[in-house]
Amino acid sequence: MRSSRTSLRAGLAALVAAVGLFAAGTGTARAADTPLRDLAAAKGKVLGTAVTGSKLTGTYGDITGTQFSAVTPGNAMKWESVEPARGSFNWTEADQIVAFAQAHDQQVRGHTLVWHSQNPGWLTDGSWTSAQLSDLLRSHIDTEVGRYKGRIAAWDVVNEPFNEDGTYRSTLWHDGLGPGYIADALTWAHAADPDADLYINDYNVEGVNAKSTALYNLVKSLKQQGVPIDGVGLQAHLILGQVPSTLQQNIQRFADLGVDVAITELDVRMQLPADSAELAQQEADFKSVVAACAAVARCVNVTVWGFTDSDSWVPGTFPGYGAATPYDEDYRPKPAYYGIAEALGGGGTTPPPTGACTAAYTVTSQWNTGFTGQVRISCSGASLSSWKVNWTYGAGQRITQAWNATCTQSGTAVSCANASYNGSVPDGGSVTFGFNASWSGTNPVPAVTLG
């Protein structure tokens, strides 16, 4: 286990370095950065990301495994995912994520057991007595928490129970069972897995306000009644430049109640297209959220809600907004990535260079003997009329086929030049080519140069 992690991390170091620079580049290539999970561990924190199970191969899987020490299934453990028809269960994606986490020495945050959203139609469309509803909820919790007993560090047992003014949200559960559903759900979850930490999770509770104060009062009263509650999750779906000034104070007041705090769904959205000033503001925002958590001993985990802009819920949910995560769509770390690193004590990081063309290499899928790769050449503040991308395969990989470029391989040296129709890369534009290749043993991402 130890050695496989070491080699995974070595692979990541290569991946972070796998951006070639060309043209008016004023920046210098970065030294391989310490993985965020290691920086977090040195501060006694866990750093997580929400994930999509089907994407956990290639570069997405490499980054997930090497940079993060926890994963949260973005959707796979929600009721509609695990029991789409009554009594008919589908654990495929949830199992896959839990297995991935175990293989990469990561925690899993289970998300989520009791919520008003993403419930199956058979449940929401049914008409139930309160006794039936209570039985359904208990059995859902028994089944799901029981299945993963011992493998889930923390459960978001109850999600989003409050309105903005601090009153209880009217939901299937609240309206059918009364507010006691929260204590019941926690008690049932504790019975099903006594070792899991049990959380209540909500949004717009990051700063001190009416909603977070209602949550505070609830947690206080649950503790007084001896209900098993271990933590509070602050989702932190934030808007650029709007990190609440009372974030750390709010985390501290929950900690002082004797519960842990986690930032469970961090993202910072902005209006598209993103410019460099906005990305710099986003770096500051990520940094201040992580720093607030780092400053409070009982703030145990910061989880980003998707680590790459290509796997974020924001564009689909907030039209016109996006770019909300620490990596761009091609898995290149954005300034926000360095904001997280800086807040965790990572030294010597500088923002990515501007005024350059770069080439980014990603493994988009991988199987036993082969893989598909992609290289994207992007220009910002510069342009190209032709290009050539070079790299060295140190682990015996061999290109078998390429498209949208002419690739030659001689020994370990690979060189790919533009096709007749895609040599030109305008300022602000990009060109992509792809290839298939063989591999065995390991498939580290090479450093690429653009010339």
Active site amino acids:
160, 265
Does 168 participate in binding ligand XIL (rule CB under 6 A)? no
Does 278 participate in binding ligand XIL (rule CB under 6 A)? no
Write the CB contacts of 24 (distance below 8 Å, at least 6 apart in sequence). 355, 356, 381, 382
> How far apart are CB 306 and ligand XIL at their closest, in Å?
7
CA gap 240, 283 in Å, rounded: 10
> How far apart are CB 379 and ligand XIL at their closest, in Å?
31
Q: 3-class DSSP state for residue 119?
A: coil
Q: Which is nearer to ligand XIL, 45 or 109 (CB)?
A: 109
- The correct pick among 89, 122, 168, 313 for binding ligand XIL (CB under 6 A) is 313
- The correct pick among 34, 69, 159, 301 for binding ligand XIL (CB under 6 A) is 159
Does 204 participate in binding ligand XIL (rule CB under 6 A)? no
Please choose, from the candidates 46, 110, 3, 72, the residue with its C-alpha nearest in 3D space to the C-alpha of residue 313. Answer: 72
Q: Are strands 260-271 and 356-366 parallel, antiparallel or unpaired?
A: unpaired
Q: Which is nearer to ligand XIL, 74 or 244 (CB)?
A: 74
* Secondary structure E strands in 5-138: 19-22, 46-51, 70-73, 107-114
Q: Which is nearer to ligand XIL, 229 or 360 (CB)?
A: 229
Residue at shortest CB range from ligand XIL: 313
> How far apart are CB 159 and ligand XIL at their closest, in Å?
5
Q: 226: exposed, middle or buried (C-beta count within 10 Å: 0-12, 13-18, 19+)?
A: exposed
Does 235 participate in binding ligand XIL (rule CB under 6 A)? yes
Does 74 participate in binding ligand XIL (rule CB under 6 A)? yes
Q: Among all chains, which residue has been given the structure tokens 């290749």?
A: 437
Write the CB contacts of 412 (distance below 8 Å, at least 6 apart in sequence). 392, 393, 394
- Number of residues near ligand XIL (by CB under 6 A): 6
- The correct pick among 184, 197, 260, 265 for binding ligand XIL (CB under 6 A) is 265
Does 424 participate in binding ligand XIL (rule CB under 6 A)? no
> How far apart are CB 353 and ligand XIL at their closest, in Å?
32
Please choose, from the candidates 145, 80, 79, the residue with its C-alpha nearest in 3D space to the C-alpha of residue 110. Answer: 145
Q: Which is nearer to ligand XIL, 82 or 341 (CB)?
A: 82
* Residue 426 CA neighbour count, 13 Å, CB half: 2
Does 75 participate in binding ligand XIL (rule CB under 6 A)? yes
Which ranges in 85-236 belong to alpha helices (H)? 92-103, 121-124, 130-147, 172-177, 181-192, 210-225
CA gap 84, 62 in Å, rounded: 31
> How far apart are CB 71 and ligand XIL at their closest, in Å?
13
Provide the binding-site residues for ligand XIL, judged by CB under 6 A.
74-75, 159, 235, 265, 313
